[in-house]
Amino acid sequence: MQPAEQRDEVEMLWLMLLIRRFEERASQQYQAQKIGGFCHLYIGQEAVVAGAIAAIRFDDYIITAYRDHAHALARGTSANACMAELFGKDTGCSRGLGGSMHFFDKEHHMYGGHAIVGAHVPLACGLAFACKYRNEDRVTLCFFGDGAINQGAFHEALNLAALFKLPVIFICENNLFAMGTSVERSTSLKQIVDRAEGYDIPGCVVDGMNFRHVRDTLSEVVESIRKDPHPAFVEVRTYRYRGHSMSDPASYRTKEQLEKYRLDDPITRLRAQLTREGKLTNEKFDELDKEAKRIALESVKFAEQSDEPPLEKLYDYTYV
């Protein structure tokens, strides 16, 4: 595996395109009722996971909430396995048993997809605890939303991480809303990052629409943790373009706000940076986008043609 910091930026732009095109397809397939249950899209937030992934090694751990398609794709789970999971197929990353909110991929060190808000934050401490226990220098990235910071589990986990000096980075993807509740209406602090201070955990704020800013900040944090295990907190300011889930019309926010963030689109931004620096041509970008679209479309075909999990499997993964 190449050192994280050197991961090619064009490749990371491609990842962001893949995430977006994949989710556009997922949205379409949800509307066609090929996908059931709840489905939460990540569109607009791509630079967060891409920047974070670019800052770590393959053997590091990641864990996240239910808005998890992008995290699996970023980890290297195939678009086919992701789409098949949404379709509830046996070829899905959780064998069709988890669905959109419960993506898992052990091989790629993706420890879920967790749908109870805040409940996976202590799990991240456990992953990090195990790494430290075994004297490994892996870091654990724990992603969660702005809504999760008011759960008891979150607070207990932060204290444990600080107390035990666990190599875990708490990444709060602050997209300004938890469902229809804005951060001002949910949280007593002006800045989410100030939560970290209360636990004596170093914290910083990052522009989540800027891939490089996310990557560079996290790279520094990761480096310091590898040298000397400790927790860190990163508040990433970002925005989701779509509603909370497929059934949310998002009437609690203004068109102007959405437009403001769309104009600051993370893909457009990285593209412009690379083009300006002569690292990307328009032709190359179009080629990448075409490829991302092709893979997303392929994944739908793959999911459609895959088998359902057999009924006999019902008890296969239940031990009692």
Partner 1 sequence: MQMREITYRQALNEALAEELARDPNVFLMGEEVAEYNGAYKVSQGLLERFGPKRIIDTPISENGFAGLGVGAAMVGLRPIIEFMTFSFSLVAFDQVVNNAPNMLTMSGGQFNIPITFRGPNGPAHQLGATHSHATECLYASVPGLKVCTPATPRDAKGLLKTAVRDNNPVLVLESELLYSSKGMVEPAETELLIPLGEAEVKREGSDVTIVCYAQTVALALAVAEKLEDEDISAEVLDLRSIKPLDERAIYDSVAKTHRVVIVEQDRPFCGVGAEVCYRIQKNIFDELDAPIGRVSQEDVPMPYNERLEKAVLPNAEKLIAAVKKVCYA
Ligand X SMILES: Cc1ncc(C[n+]2csc(CCOP(=O)(O)OP(=O)(O)O)c2C)c(N)n1
For residue 114, what are its two tokens? 């967790």
Using CB under 5 A as the binding criterion, the count of chain residues that bind Mg ion stands at: 4
Evaluate whether 34 touches 91 at the Cβ level (below 8 Å). no
The three-state secondary structure class of 270 is helix
237-276 footprint of ligand X as x/- string (CB under 6 A)? -------x--------------------------------
Nearer to Mg ion, 9 or 146 (CB): 146
Two structure tokens written together for 274: 């690379």
Residues 157 to 186 in contact with ligand X, rule: CB under 6 A: 175, 177-179
Q: CB under 8 Å to 180, separation ≥6 — which residues?
A: 244, 248, 250, 252
* 12 closest CA partner among 59, 49, 58, 60: 49
Q: Following DSSP, what letter does each residue of 151-203 receive, concatenated?
A: SHHHHHHHHHHHHTT--EEEEEEE-SEETTEEHHHH-SSSSTTHHHHTTT--E
Q: Is 119 in the site for partner 1 (CB under 8 A)?
A: yes
Q: Is 148 in the site for ligand X (CB under 6 A)?
A: yes
Which residue from 173, 38, 48, 63 is spatially nearest to 119, judged by alpha carbons? 63
Min CB(229)–partner 1 separation in Å: 29
DSSP annotation of 141 reads E
Q: Residue 67's binding partner, choosing from Mg ion, partner 1, ligand X, none, with beta-carbon cut-off 5 to 8 A by kind?
A: ligand X
Q: Which stretch binds partner 1 (CB under 8 A): 40-48, 115-123, 234-242, 261-269?
A: 115-123
Q: How many helices (H) and strands (E) does the chain have?
A: 12, 8
Binding mask 249-268 for partner 1 (x = CB under 8 A): ---x----------------
The yes or no reply on residue 146 touching Mg ion (CB under 5 A) is yes
- Residues in touch with ligand X (CB under 6 A): 67, 115-117, 145-148, 175, 177-179, 244
- Residues in touch with partner 1 (CB under 8 A): 36-38, 88-89, 94, 96-99, 101-102, 114-119, 147-148, 150-153, 178-181, 185-187, 252, 308-309, 311, 313-315, 318
- Residues in touch with Mg ion (CB under 5 A): 145-146, 175, 178
